[in-house]
A and B are shown apart, each in its own frame.
Chain A
Amino acid sequence: MSVEHDVKPMMPARAAAPRRPYRIPRSANTQIVLIVILVLWELGVRLGHVPVYVLPPPSTVILRIFHDWRLIIFQTWVTTTEVVIGFGLSIVVSIPLAAVLFQWRWLEESLYPMLVASQTIPKVAIAPLMVVWFGFGLAPKVLIAFLICFFPIVVDSLIGFRSVPKEVMWLARSTGASKWNTFWKIQIPAALPSIFAGIKVASTLAVVGAVVGEFVGSDTGLGYQLIVANGTIDVQLSFAVIVVLSALGIVLFGLVELAERLLLPWHISQRRVRNNNKSRKYRK
């Protein structure tokens, strides 16, 4: 017997592709949109004579970043440290916690509602308390970043662990595999896509957490710098800090995506590149 029969697509050999006019690659769309917005902004502000303390043209914001690079780098370093520690801590705590909750149903039933309830408390509201409890140093910022990241990772991990079809569990039981073995070989890998979804959401929140911490009590960090810049109506510096903050968030998100791509080459969200030829046909 041969296998090819049910794989070989039933269509005539492809004729030479028709020559198409040059098109801008789809991947460049985002950059183009961004550039258009920046150009409009620049032109609008300059032609409309908008004062710099209301809305500075983007070119001056970029120049300001280069001009104050020592300050910016220092503050970025402070904030990055808080973000990375808080975010890292949330990953290290949330996934095992989700695993524990998943293994012991009664524990989940008693703890999960409390987790949800605790999540409804706005982190911004308890940030000042953190200052009271932990002072003005690194700790309160890390804690707020941690608290804000923690919940999406726990919830998504739990969903992931539960995503294993019952037939797979049936199969596992028919092998006499231990609970631990089943968890390690089946439930954890099955949960990874979901866990990564949670981590991605958390990665964007981590920066918010650290900045909130800096807002309420700090003398360093990008959040502190933002408060200072606003206080002196130095809108240019405010924008510069905001640009750096969002760059920080993007880098963090990108790193998580990179890790996902390396760890989950099999997952549907990562198959883009390999299936490109196929999907192109159906796209118009």
Chain B
Amino acid sequence: MSLAVDLSHVSMVYETETGSVHALDDISFSVETGEFLAILGPSGCGKSTLLALISGLEFPTEGSIRVADRPVSRPVTDVGIVFQTDVLLDWRRVLGNVLLQIELRGGDVAAFKTRARELLRMVGLFDFEHKYPYELSGGMRQRVAICRALIHDPPLLLMDEPFGALDALTREKMVLELHRIWYQTRKSVAFVTHDIQEAVFLADRVLVMTPRPGQIAEIAKIDIPHPRQPAARSSPEFLAIAAHLRDLFVNAGVL
């Protein structure tokens, strides 16, 4: 299987005014094509730095990164990114926000309108295309952001705690929805989270990170078959793996 993302012996040291910060230490892992990889770790362990490195916005102090079998030397464009905040543009209506992706890429906006509407329908926002972001709830806004990340049909999705700012119920709903979208589209996903349940439910594999300097504690394979139903959360396998991941954090002194 080809690799969507491949990191080998990546270390990252930031120089700040108060000295150097060792954010990542000797990280090696890969995301296979079509795989959903969750990156799980406590806050400040360099999870977000990992995504910045993969997307070519920052470059590692040591080690090499390949995306779609090409070394990363400038911002990667074959990618859809979803952030913790939806970062929708306030002055654009829902449809315009989704199409921003195409506009910035210099694509034919008119040709993508149909696809934008399809995506909005898929996430249940078909009737909202003419609303402004401030007229939507947090969950709806984040769905628009997901549509914006999908419209150019990127092979790779990078998600940085996308549901971190949502309330618990909305969050669970969004997790189900993301799982469904991923199951339908089979994109390669690197999904950063600090939520064990979320990671286990969504991922093929969960990469567990230690507190700073971020190192890989374990890469756990989740063998629950797809598509996963909400009830999977209370299955014995699910509970066992979640307990195991929690233990890792207990041992690392995080919990």
Contacts and interface: CB of A to CB of B under 8 A. Distances in A.
A154 B113 CA distance: 38
Given A170-B57, A185-B103, A264-B91, A175 B137 contact: no
Contact of B170 (A6, A177, A192, A265): A6
Contacts of B219: none
A165 B57 contact: no
Interface in B92-109: 100-101, 103-106
A7 B125 CA distance: 12
A268 interface: yes
A: contact size bracket: 20 to 34
Interface in A260-275: 264-268, 271
B81 A170 contact: yes
Nearest to A182: B104
Contact of A175 (B77, B85, B91, B170): B77
Given A174-B55, A175-B104, A266-B91, A3 B79 contact: no
A269 to B, nearest CB: 12
A74 B140 CA distance: 57
A7 B169 CA distance: 12
Interface string A241-284: 00000000000000000000000111110010000000000000
B89 A190 contact: yes
A173 interface: yes
A172 interface: yes
B97 to A, nearest CB: 11
Interface string A157-180: 000000001011011111111000
A176 B104 CA distance: 7
Given A3-B125, A165-B87, A181-B104, A266 B79 contact: no
Given A1-B177, A6-B139, A168 B87 contact: yes
A192 B92 CA distance: 13
Contacts of A171: 81, 83, 87
Contacts of A128: none
B249 interface: no
B164 to A, nearest CB: 13
B: contact size bracket: 20 to 34
A167 B85 contact: yes
Contacts of B103: 185
Contacts of A182: 104
A175 B100 CA distance: 10
B17 interface: no
Contacts of A5: 173
Contact of A271 (B134, B170, B177): B134
A267 B173 contact: no
B87 A167 contact: yes
Task: Indicate the member of A170, A171, A186 with the most B CB atoms within 10 Å.
Answer: A171
Interface string A81-94: 00000000000000
A58 to B, nearest CB: 43
A275 to B, nearest CB: 9
A173 B89 contact: no
Contacts of A170: 52, 55, 57, 81, 83
Interface in B114-160: 124-125, 128, 132-134, 136-137, 139-140
Nearest to B170: A6
Interface string B170-183: 10010001000000
B89 A186 contact: yes
Given A1-B177, A170-B81, A266 B140 contact: no
Interface of B: 52, 55, 57, 75-77, 79, 81, 83, 85, 87, 89-91, 100-101, 103-106, 124-125, 128, 132-134, 136-137, 139-140, 169-170, 173, 177
Given A7-B137, A185-B100, 7 more contacts: A1-B173, A2-B124, A165-B85, A174-B55, A176-B104, A189-B91, A266-B132
